[in-house]
Structure 1
């Protein structure tokens, strides 16, 4: 027995000193002249894993690189703007200040489109512009409190170019940052940029916008991919409406156009036009091309995540990313691609109910702050709704019009209303959140209050935070315009893939969790950019499958 054990130990030692682990044979860290950072809006780990074996284009290439299929948008407020703010800043929303897609400022009312007081603040607006409000705003990165990777690169070397393109203004703004060469987004009719930035817009943008208009004006004829046949099953969402089978887009329906693979394809065409015309990756400095693809999110909201619509989108996304890789390969530019998502998503409860998850349900409309606020105002004889909020979950704000003598009683009544509701997991006060240290360690092990703390900004967050129970969709009924959504602190909304690829990559897969805030310090290590550790929340991830490391 001892001889056998000794022989095994000697054999193991020989393997450890073999070529695969020898320094001379270790893979070298990439030295990209172009960093391509991609966010696929609402691409959850669940979606990525479900379709992984079907990918044969760009997603197949990415999955064959360095794969962290269980990455984390680690905070509780799993929405588009907070999620995008983490990807290229290295910072959680508590540090970026982007705590939600929109929040409230009870101290300052502006006039909304309906002529009523608007206390809302949109995450990508310039609040200093007179007449601006949360629904009619000028796009700006001013509310982002930290620099992006591109901002840091341009501060270190102004020759670096930073281009950000997205189907949503907040996607482009939060990934591009404060000092871009070009920022472009879809405004509902066409792709556009900041006022005064017309000279930076690539000539190819005009063709992309022309093609987008043509796509909206004509009916779409989308074919069901063979791989999606088993997903094509109608599910009733009330009345005569149903989802789950492909529905052809009617001419002139710009909203339906957003919820299509064609929208992502044109967003990518715009990004590639900027790549070509601005000669990204071909100058003396390293450049950044940030691309946020929005169609997966619009499709998930409109149809849910488990039907033929999303399956068809996964095939289209794979093909669009394949075209991108072909263009980058042809250019001969040394590039690195990192792909992740701003958040995950959860399917509509009606389909979950008939597919093995009877606990799934829609939120009680009595949880909506638009009803709770007026009811409390009436009970306490107040001049306006007592609380403000966007949805039946997340940050809730007390009105500043509540007299000091009544404020504590109103807060107690609001807390009791939410805490006693059977669909509510927890209600956490601002003081409780503030007293919680910033979380650390594996994000999959964080407590609920730690997840909420990761998106807590004392100057912007509410007086209390409402977390709904698992599988409760915070859309009371489908008349609200969407059938499914995200935003919860649960795994289906927090877990996202994080994938790295470059030419010559020595692939490996790590199933344990890393955070999207780890992307910036990892990329910075590859290009020799110094980022003080006390300015970010993320850590450098070793991408080298061997003894060598890109992390210093």
Structure 2
């Protein structure tokens, strides 16, 4: 027996206690990180200058699904956040775009809009926000239900939809008010701001950041992963002749949205992290007997990416700086929650296309679709084929909404109109495929782009015609870029787990963002979100 005890003690001395990545029970805190507009390749593209303590720590010590994708169209911010946290697609959770046309009212609805609530803090115009348009539960809701609501859930982002949708129906959400530079919420969540939020706002950190000049973190000549800083493909800030460093933010804020300018700089990430840490401390997250959840969305990469595009020095600098923020967050969690006591997942709400005009300059097929011109052509064609009338009610999100009442009044078969217009639209350069709403409702597509489109199709809310553009094509202008398609540049995003009960490794197996919530459910031993269609990632749960 003495010999056995001696061997046991020797093993403890040599190998120490159980790995910090593997503990018993449940994690004290889950941190869900969504980086707005982060493509998977950004983890590799700038890796030679990432530190060992930020993204590389997550990749090396966590488990990464290298072939992670969105499995629906359209790939936008609202649907992306909703899909990650519900474990299902827009066809089920109902957030079919950032905003969408409502046939019954003839108006558009915002994905996180709620006219029944008012601002708490901030300004009235930014306060009518809640998750009421989300039709299913989220993993954060299920965590709250599993503990009889003892678990705390807090959503944080510059964008209101990036905070409210992840927080679910039962959590708290705070977002940045671009008008007064403070974090706010709505009466859906609180009657008044918690003291810790008021205290944070009193520091006026947004103003402090906007007194700085955004210069490259390293000498600009070392930014080898980007094209020349001065080019014709990027959109400069108002009041600045060229899209080039440096950016004097105190001078630019007056003509670029005031406090809201911070969202278009890496300092928006810094401010978001500052507030996230304040939320951990203010709500004592991870300090109770039940698992808490912090949902953080870094919105600034999206604003920067839209304006400058993925080949820009600005995007490269943003990710080098965000890597430092990740290292700061991990260090903070190590000290306050404890290594192995917290669980992180990192993903994105969508990717992004290259600037179409840049791709054309490199002889790669691409282009910008003139939707105003096509809408005019549609209206003229309808009048010629079916008689005068207000046939086209709305064209948005690459969908066409027809006047179904007018079709009934004129005794014209709606299916025939849809098929005729689908054939007409295919005449235009840049449009690859057109599907009718009737086809989406009556056919089951198991693969391909039609399958992705159907996963984003809502029988009540989606349009009569749904367009898929050619690869590399956008519905934008000559400068800047966008996203929303089912092509890999928009769908391929990080899916990375790190920390509690996560063994290091990676897989190239195809996975989807709708697998994230079911994976968390299995790890925590709680109920799946009630509309979940994704599957647990077995490489992580086994």
Does TM-score exceed 0.5, indicating one fold?
A: yes
Displacement of 1:224 in angstroms is 4.4
Match of 2:185 in 1: 193
- Mean alpha-carbon deviation: is it higher for 378-387 or for 467-476? 378-387
- Residue 206 of structure 1 pairs with residue 200 of structure 2: yes
Please tell me whether the aligned partners of residues 32 and 345 of structure 2 are also in contact (alpha carbons under 8 angstroms). Answer: yes
What's the CA shift string for 1:135-156, capped at 9, x where partnerless? 9871111110111111111112
Partners in 2 of 1:205 and 1:382 — Cα distance? 61
Aligned to 2:86, the other structure's residue is in SS state coil
- Residue 144 of structure 1 pairs with residue 134 of structure 2: yes
Displacement of 1:243 in angstroms is 4.1
Match of 1:433 in 2: 440
- Residue 490 of structure 1 pairs with residue 487 of structure 2: yes
> Cα–Cα, structure 1 residues 412 and 429, in superposed 2: closer, same or farther, change >3 Å?
closer
Partners in 1 of 2:267 and 2:235 — Cα distance? 29
Work out the number of aligned pairs and report it. Answer: 493
In the alignment, structure 1 segments of 5+ residues that lack a partner are: 1-23, 110-118, 440-445, 545-549
Query: Pick from 146, 151, 163: which aligns with 1:156?
Result: 146
Scaled by the length of structure 1, the TM-score of the pair is 0.82
Please tell me whether the aligned partners of residues 79 and 90 of structure 2 are also in contact (alpha carbons under 8 angstroms). Answer: yes
Displacement of 1:430 in angstroms is 1.3
Partners in 1 of 2:227 and 2:427 — Cα distance? 40
In the alignment, structure 2 segments of 5+ residues that lack a partner are: 1-17, 119-124
Displacement of 1:296 in angstroms is 0.7
Please tell me whether the aligned partners of residues 31 and 343 of structure 2 are also in contact (alpha carbons under 8 angstroms). Answer: yes
Please tell me whether the aligned partners of residues 351 and 493 of structure 2 are also in contact (alpha carbons under 8 angstroms). Answer: yes
Partners in 2 of 1:517 and 1:335 — Cα distance? 22
Partners in 1 of 2:378 and 2:475 — Cα distance? 17
Aligned to 2:483, the other structure's residue is in SS state coil
- Residue 125 of structure 1 pairs with residue 113 of structure 2: yes
Please tell me whether the aligned partners of residues 217 and 317 of structure 2 are also in contact (alpha carbons under 8 angstroms). Answer: yes
Partners in 2 of 1:418 and 1:374 — Cα distance? 12
Instruction: Show the 5 A alignment for 1:355-504.
Output: 356-366=362-372, 369=375, 371-372=376-377, 374-375=379-380, 379=384, 382-384=388-390, 386-391=392-397, 393=398, 395-404=399-408, 405-406=411-412, 408=414, 410-437=417-444, 439=446, 446-478=447-479, 483-502=480-499
Instruction: Show the 5 A alignment for 1:56-135.
Output: 56=51, 57-64=53-60, 65-109=62-106, 119-126=107-114
Partners in 2 of 1:476 and 1:414 — Cα distance? 25
What's the CA shift string for 1:261-312, capped at 9, x where partnerless? 1001101111110101211111111110000001111011011111100000
Aligned to 1:88, the other structure's residue is in SS state helix
Match of 1:175 in 2: 166
CA RMSD of aligned residues (A): 2.9
Match of 1:442 in 2: none
What's the CA shift string for 1:393-450, capped at 9, x where partnerless? 2x321134524124636534532331221211100111222234375xxxxxx31110
Match of 2:319 in 1: 314
Displacement of 1:172 in angstroms is 0.9
Partners in 2 of 1:197 and 1:372 — Cα distance? 50
What's the CA shift string for 1:119-149, capped at 9, x where partnerless? 111111125679xxxx987111111011111
Match of 2:10 in 1: none
Aligned to 2:508, the other structure's residue is in SS state coil
Partners in 2 of 1:238 and 1:289 — Cα distance? 34
Please tell me whether the aligned partners of residues 260 and 295 of structure 1 are also in contact (alpha carbons under 8 angstroms). Answer: yes
Query: Pick from 27, 41, 44: which aligns with 1:46?
Result: 41
What's the CA shift string for 1:25-83, capped at 9, x where partnerless? 9x857631111000000001132231233321421111111011221111121000111
Partners in 1 of 2:454 and 2:320 — Cα distance? 37
- Residue 353 of structure 1 pairs with residue 344 of structure 2: no
Match of 1:338 in 2: 345
Partners in 1 of 2:235 and 2:453 — Cα distance? 37
- Mean alpha-carbon deviation: is it higher for 417-426 or for 28-37? 28-37
> Cα–Cα, structure 1 residues 362 and 244, in superposed 2: closer, same or farther, change >3 Å?
farther
Partners in 2 of 1:38 and 1:500 — Cα distance? 10
Partners in 2 of 1:202 and 1:398 — Cα distance? 50
Aligned to 1:432, the other structure's residue is in SS state helix
> Cα–Cα, structure 1 residues 152 and 402, in superposed 2: closer, same or farther, change >3 Å?
same
